[in-house]
């Protein structure tokens, strides 16, 4: 996007300078009669886009409804003579919090005052049914050095609005450096994600930097650097901040005021009471303790080294100090056929996270700020500081011969009924079979380099990651797509029970059941039990007590009735399983299917390649016809001229059922994995 030229006036506003330019609008330093204002105007290139115009005006209307001293005030809303909508906001004198942090961290007392104002503002948003979705130092303005004002509601959304995590060109709404982990995987923004972003901002205020060294290291999100390693604060305060940074949303404080209260209580024992005591809580440069760096002339503050922003993408900030052009959206190759087979291979989630998002989404009252999630070059990476070595968990020792495919299939079929009775979403895979197949080794190696796959795998607790990577097979079941905290994982390997227990011992407590069985309680995970000496049963069901988990292990009467019926339709010699019971009007991520649709998919492996079958039941013949009409012309032409040596695909319909089936040769498998791995 070419930087905008500076007009002398816009309607009744006299323009002095450009304060900032983002993907959707330009912000001018202007005067309106006697008032100084920040005039935000829709970018000329988007002026003819009805959807963006509507979102822009909704942002203005949203801001007008909020009356809070820590939220920027909207003075006027309207249209310029050329038809472009605008909103005139109060022109604040000061600087962004990011600019302040570029000079170093803040004293504890000042941080608490500013953070309290931010929490109060965010709490008001939540009370009025709004989520900000992009809380960060660049979107906080410091007035007079002592008051915080929340800026930029360009990507805010109504809590009750349809879930939407991506922009029109496929980027994630928000700034990845501050974004809650669950949002990387398609989960919608919520009050809990705003709480997470507040915690990251609080950490930055006290430490003068972000909690992780490298965005490319997903595992770092599991272990934010302890704040006490960087600045002298009470240990209790470090604990509260880490709780708000939990990767599990339900472990964070429920509201912004609750977070503020917990932070203040934890800091209370050492909060300075006299102005003279509010100097930076850092050791003197002459005697710095280990791991607590000081700011020197040779070493710039962390935020100063990161320039003025931490997202290295479009600058959504209304008062941004520099204008940045919006990146040109990239057109992605529509590899729907590959994605459908990957839906079975990867359990479905990978498809909705990586597929083309360029189709119009349901109207959401928000202005789209595109922040693509992608790996950045080291010189631009906001997490580009040298990575701190992270100790890895060694693989578990294996014993005995490899189990045959037939035995693995039989064991897996017997294990699935042990999932809880309300399980409606099932993913299962014969990992051992694929790990011993050179074609899949190559495919997984390529897919494993994708940033989102790395993030997903990296967020697993180390011992869970070790179990899955070294397993013969695994099955995962939950109560729905977004119910990550309602899931159960069953993993079978050639390890010994004692080694598995030892892996988790440092982070678990042992409970003895009435029948003498021992369960491990795993913080941040749930309960660990065993189907047998080689099969681990991990429950992350927060609603199930130890006795209920153990009862599922012993009896095995699980899955919903519909899920069991869908499983029964799949071939017994499958290597991969994907089942969704849509009962209850279940919403599919990204809305690829009508609400309440069922799915049953499988992949079979042979010497020639793979055969896949995806059966979709919309429960409504009219919806099925619409789905067929949409999918068929997109998929079948890709294989229309191919021979059996490459692959075949067919889309058929019978009443409310749409079936996508076919086969991919070894050659095509390589092309598919390379294409998907290359997608941003």
pLDDT digits (tens, 9 = 90+) for 633-669: 888 777 776 666 667 889 999 999 999 998 887 766 6
Domain count, the chain: 1
Task: Please tell me the pTM assigned to this model.
Answer: 0.50
| Statement: residue 339 has pLDDT above 90 | no
For 46, phi and psi rounded to 5 degrees? -110, 0
d(CA 671, CA 673): 6
The pLDDT value recorded for residue 480 is 80
Evaluate whether 424 touches 480 at the Cβ level (below 8 Å).
yes
d(CA 215, CA 176): 8
Kindly report the average pLDDT of the chain as a whole number. 74
Quickly state the pLDDT bin for 675 (edges 50, 70, 90).
low
Residues 478-522: tens digit of each pLDDT:
988 665 557 899 999 998 899 999 888 877 888 888 889 999 988
| Statement: residue 544 has pLDDT above 70 | yes
The DSSP letter of residue 604 is E
Do the domain assignments include residue 249?
yes
The pLDDT value recorded for residue 376 is 35
| Statement: residue 615 has pLDDT above 80 | yes
Mean pLDDT within 274-285: 33
Q: What is the number of residues in the chain?
A: 680
Q: Residue 452's closest CA among 588, 342, 325?
A: 342
d(CA 526, CA 509): 11
The pLDDT value recorded for residue 94 is 86
Quickly state the pLDDT bin for 185 (edges 50, 70, 90).
low
Give the percent of the chain with pLDDT over 70.
67
CATH (domain of 183): 1.10.510.10
Quickly state the pLDDT bin for 600 (edges 50, 70, 90).
very high
Mean pLDDT within 38-63: 75
The pLDDT value recorded for residue 184 is 65
Do the domain assignments include residue 114?
yes
Mean pLDDT within 263-287: 49
Task: Of 2-11, 183-192, 330-339, give the lowest mean pLDDT range.
Answer: 330-339
Do the domain assignments include residue 52?
yes
Do the domain assignments include residue 525?
no
Q: Which of 282-286, 395-399, 431-435, 598-602 reaches the highest mean pLDDT?
A: 598-602
Quickly state the pLDDT bin for 550 (edges 50, 70, 90).
very high
Do the domain assignments include residue 606?
no
Do the domain assignments include residue 262?
yes
Evaluate whether 546 touches 577 at the Cβ level (below 8 Å).
no
Task: Of 96-105, 352-361, 468-477, 610-619, give the lowest mean pLDDT range.
Answer: 352-361
Residue by residue, what is the 3-state secondary structure of 231-245? CCCCHHHHHHHHHHC
The pLDDT value recorded for residue 492 is 95
The residue with greater pLDDT, 382 or 310, is: 310
Query: For residue 8, what are its two tokens?
Result: 């002398």
Residues 126-173: tens digit of each pLDDT:
888 888 888 999 889 999 888 999 886 654 444 444 333 333 333 344
Segments in 246-324 forming alpha helices (H): 256-267, 302-305
Distances (CA, A) of 322 to 352, 382, 508: 35, 17, 50
- Which residues partner with 536 through β-bridges? 491, 530
| Statement: residue 308 has pLDDT above 60 | no
* Domain interval for residue 194: 1-282+294-323+361-376
């Amino acid at each position: 996007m070419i930087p905008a030229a500076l007009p002398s006036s816009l309607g009744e506003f006299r323009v002095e300078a450009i304060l900032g330019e983002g993907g959707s609008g330009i912000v001018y330093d202007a005067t309106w009669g006697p008032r100084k204002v920040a005039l935000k105007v829709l970018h000329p290139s988007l002026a003819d886009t009805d959807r963006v115009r509507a979102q822009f005006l909704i942002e203005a209307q949203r801001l007008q409804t909020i009356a809070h001293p820590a939220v920027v005030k909207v003075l006027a809303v309207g249209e310029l003579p050329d038809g472009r909508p605008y909103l005139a906001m109060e022109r604040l004198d000061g600087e962004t919090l990011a600019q302040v942090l570029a000079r170093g961290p803040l004293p504890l007392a000042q941080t608490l005052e500013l953070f309290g104002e931010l929490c109060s503002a965010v709490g008001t948003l939540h009370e009025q049914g709004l989520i900000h979705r992009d809380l960060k130092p660049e979107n906080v303005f410091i007035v007079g050095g002592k008051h915080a004002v929340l800026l930029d509601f360009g990507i805010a959304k109504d809590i009750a609005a349809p879930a939407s995590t991506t922009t029109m060109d496929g980027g994630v709404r928000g700034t990845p450096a501050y974004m809650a982990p669950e949002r990387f995987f398609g989960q919608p923004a919520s009050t809990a994600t705003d709480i997470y972003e507040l915690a990251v901002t609080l950490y930055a205020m006290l430490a003068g930097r972000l909690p992780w060294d490298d965005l490319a290291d997903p595992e770092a999100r599991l272990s934010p650097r302890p704040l006490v390693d960087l600045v002298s604060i009470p240990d209790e305060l470090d604990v509260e901040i880490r709780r708000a940074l939990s990767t599990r949303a339900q472990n964070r404080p429920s509201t912004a005021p609750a977070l503020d209260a917990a932070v203040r209580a934890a800091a209370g024992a050492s909060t300075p009471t006299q102005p003279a005591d509010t100097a930076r809580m850092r050791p003197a440069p002459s005697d710095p303790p280990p791991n607590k760096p000081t700011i020197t002339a040779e070493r710039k503050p962390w935020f100063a080294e990161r320039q003025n922003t931490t997202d290295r993408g479009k600058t959504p900030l209304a008062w941004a100090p520099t204008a940045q052009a919006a990146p040109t959206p990239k057109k992605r190759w529509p590899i729907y056929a590959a994605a459908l087979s990957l839906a079975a291979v990867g359990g479905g989630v990978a498809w909705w996270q990586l597929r083309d998002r360029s189709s119009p989404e349901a109207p959401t009252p928000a202005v789209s700020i595109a922040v693509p999630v992608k790996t950045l070059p080291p010189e631009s990476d906001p997490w580009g500081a040298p990575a701190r070595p992270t100790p890895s968990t060694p693989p578990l020792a294996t014993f005995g011969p490899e189990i045959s495919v037939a035995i693995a299939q039989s064991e897996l079929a017997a294990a699935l009924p042990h999932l809880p009775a309300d399980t409606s979403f099932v993913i299962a895979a014969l990992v051992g079979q694929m790990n011993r197949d050179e074609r899949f080794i190559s495919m997984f190696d390529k897919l494993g380099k994708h940033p989102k796959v790395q993030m997903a795998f990296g967020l697993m607790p180390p011992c869970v990651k070790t179990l899955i990577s070294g397993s013969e097979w695994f099955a995962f079941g939950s109560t729905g797509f977004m119910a990550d905290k309602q899931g159960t994982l069953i993993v079978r390997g050639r390890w010994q029970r004692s080694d598995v227990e030892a892996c988790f011992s440092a982070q678990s407590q042992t409970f003895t059941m009435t029948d003498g069985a021992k369960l491990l309680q795993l913080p941040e995970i749930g309960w660990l039990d065993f189907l047998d000496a080689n099969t681990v049963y991990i429950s992350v069901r927060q609603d199930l007590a130890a006795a209920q988990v153990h009862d599922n292990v012993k009896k095995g009467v699980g899955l919903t009735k519909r899920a069991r019926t869908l499983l029964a339709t799949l071939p017994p010699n499958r290597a991969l399983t994907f089942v969704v019971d849509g009962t209850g009007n279940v919403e599919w991520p990204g809305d690829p299917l009508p609400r309440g649709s069922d799915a049953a998919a499988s992949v079979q492996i042979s010497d020639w390649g793979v055969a896949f079958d995806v059966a979709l039941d919309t429960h409504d013949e009219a919806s099925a016809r619409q789905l067929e009409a949409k999918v068929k012309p997109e998929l079948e032409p890709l294989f229309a001229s191919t021979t059996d040596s490459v692959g075949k695909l067919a889309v058929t319909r019978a009443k409310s059922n749409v079936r996508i089936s076919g086969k991919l040769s070894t050659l095509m498998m390589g092309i598919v994995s390379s294409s998907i791995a290359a997608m941003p």
